[in-house]
Amino acid sequence: MNSMKRNVFSTEPRIRGEFLLIATIFVVLFDFTERGDSFDTHLYFEAGSRLLDGKMDCLRTPVYPLILQFSLLLFGSGGAGVFVTVLQSVLHLLSVYLLIRIGRQLFSTRYLAECVALYYSVVIAPAWCNELLTESLSMSLMIIMVYEMMTLLRKWSYVRAVGIHLLAFVMIMLRPTFLILLVVLPVVWTIFCLRSSVYIRGVILLMLGCFVGIGVLMYAQNMEQHFGKKSLTISFLANDVYILKNSGLWDIEAIRNKEAKEKCLCVDSLWTCNYEPLYRMVTEDSSVLALLDEACDDMKMAHRQEWFRYRTRLVIESFESRFPASVNTHSFVGCCLFLWSLLLAPPLSLFYLMLTLACVLLMWYVVRRKKVLFWPSVITMMAAMHCVGIMLSACEGFGRLMLPAYPLFLLIVGMTIDVVVVHDSKK
């Protein structure tokens, strides 16, 4: 961590080619396994089709559906999947390269940076490159965002400043959990400018952040015009319905609005333990979203303690989960890669532990040295905000939803090892 002040981007030795070769071999192996038939994929294609027809989609934010639709238009149904796989694989390899460079700035030894990047390149991350889902792009773009932020504060560029905020908007429209960037970016820019006294640049960066926020707000308002509620997606409502159903707290008698009660009876008649019927209802009737949201609020208020206990139980149960790898086991190579991923995939309990330990170490450093470790604090903050957001909103699949924070988790592990092991051994 003490190496943060070094101008490592200009003085570091070249990244050894064997690391990128290993990353390429693994991503190719995973890419050539049979693609899994995800329940979500056809909904992305459907959302893209609606968007090209000039209609809003209530479930999926537009970036990934449009990527799939444009690849379909350019390469047809046979080549669309191949094109998206290649795109995701190239961005994954770029993220491996950038992860090494980030690690070399954060850690006191380049070998630790290479070990972290090597683990990232062979476990979990490459398994998602051939899936037509947002997980692979989310992990790659998270690394690219961190790298670009670090580079911007080292060497100012108006083009990079604009590019970072465009990337932030794209990431939010790819996966709404990236809304944390609307908090992270202004905090980073403000602290940096206060420390460096470059106030004009700070104002420019904050203005660009405001433009991102305005763009997100405009999209939410467009959703309100089409579906009756200001939101980016109905995923949060779908999670509430799913939890209320599974927990036994789905209490229609607790609903005060008669019309909302009727919509909940329709949900009962169509319920299949997934959110597609709810998606169809909201798509066909713009009044459903606001009414069901009101109904869920009534049920949660009527059973506040039970709701809190059930959500707490979901979080506790997530300790047993792991960061998942999407691997089809219909072939021998697929089975081997599945076992490889299963054995090496870190559990979420380790993620929570390392995140807590990192927070404690950073606070200890502030108290002991009267200084703030800037980038370790930013990375830990991003991971913590993502983690808390998922805990407060998710109904299941915590491991998959935490995947965008997976590279941040590895950086936190590396920073902790650097402090506890490497620095202690040098004393």
The residue to which tokens 């380790």 are assigned: 350
Out of 10-14, 232-236, 345-349, pick the least confident.
Answer: 10-14
Higher pLDDT: 421 or 312? It is: 312
Is residue 157 over pLDDT 90?
Answer: yes
Give me the mean pLDDT over the 64-71 stretch: 95
- What's the confidence (pLDDT) of residue 2? 42
Please give the Cα distance from 339 to 329 (Å, whole number): 9
Residue range 144-155, pLDDT digits in tens: 999 999 999 989
Please give the Cα distance from 419 to 411 (Å, whole number): 12
Calculate the alpha carbon distances from 313 to 86, 264, 319, 320 in Å: 40, 25, 10, 12
- How many secondary structure helices (H) and strands (E) does the chain include? 20, 0
Is residue 266 over pLDDT 80?
Answer: yes
Tokens of residue 389, six digits: 């957001």
- What's the confidence (pLDDT) of residue 15? 59
Please provide the DSSP assignment of 251-291 as one string: -GGG---HHHHHHHHHHHHH--SSSHHHHHHHHH-TTHHHH
- What's the confidence (pLDDT) of residue 8? 38
Give me the mean pLDDT over the 388-403 stretch: 86
Residues 6+ apart with CB under 8 A from 294: 255, 257, 260
- What's the confidence (pLDDT) of residue 26? 80
Please give the Cα distance from 278 to 225 (Å, whole number): 19
Q: Are 132 and 330 in contact (CB under 8 A)?
A: no
Please give the Cα distance from 155 to 397 (Å, whole number): 40
Domain ranges of the chain: 2-229+321-426, 235-319
CB atoms within 10 A of CB 226: 16
In which band, very low, low, confident or very high, does the pLDDT at 7 lie, cut at 50, 70 and 90? very low
Please give the Cα distance from 404 to 175 (Å, whole number): 9
- What's the confidence (pLDDT) of residue 330? 66
In which band, very low, low, confident or very high, does the pLDDT at 395 lie, cut at 50, 70 and 90? confident
Is residue 16 over pLDDT 70?
Answer: no
Give me the mean pLDDT over the 324-340 stretch: 77
Please give the Cα distance from 19 to 22 (Å, whole number): 5
Give me the mean pLDDT over the 353-382 stretch: 91
Pick from 234, 233, 294: which is nearest to 260 by CA? 294
Tokens of residue 192, six digits: 């940096």
Which H/E stretch holds residue 295? helix 288-302
Rounded to the nearest integer, the mean pLDDT of the chain is 87
- Three-state SS at 345: coil
DSSP 347: B
Tokens of residue 306, six digits: 């039970």
Please give the Cα distance from 188 to 192 (Å, whole number): 6
Q: How many residues does the chain have?
A: 427
Pick from 310, 381, 323: which is nearest to 349 by CA? 323
Calculate the alpha carbon distances from 401 to 68, 141, 410 in Å: 21, 15, 16
Calculate the alpha carbon distances from 364 to 1, 106, 116, 156, 395 in Å: 14, 18, 24, 31, 34
- What's the confidence (pLDDT) of residue 22? 79
Cβ-count burial of 236 within 10 angstroms (0-12 exposed, 13-18 middle, 19+ buried)?
Answer: middle
Residue range 164-199, pLDDT digits in tens: 999 999 999 999 999 999 999 999 999 888 877 778
Please give the Cα distance from 201 to 161 (Å, whole number): 9
Residue range 233-247, pLDDT digits in tens: 998 888 899 899 988
Tell me how far apart the terminal alpha carbons of the chain are, to the nearest angstrom: 15
Tokens of residue 92, six digits: 């994954």
Is residue 263 over pLDDT 80?
Answer: yes
Residue range 190-238, pLDDT digits in tens: 988 887 777 888 899 999 999 999 999 999 999 999 888 889 999 888 8
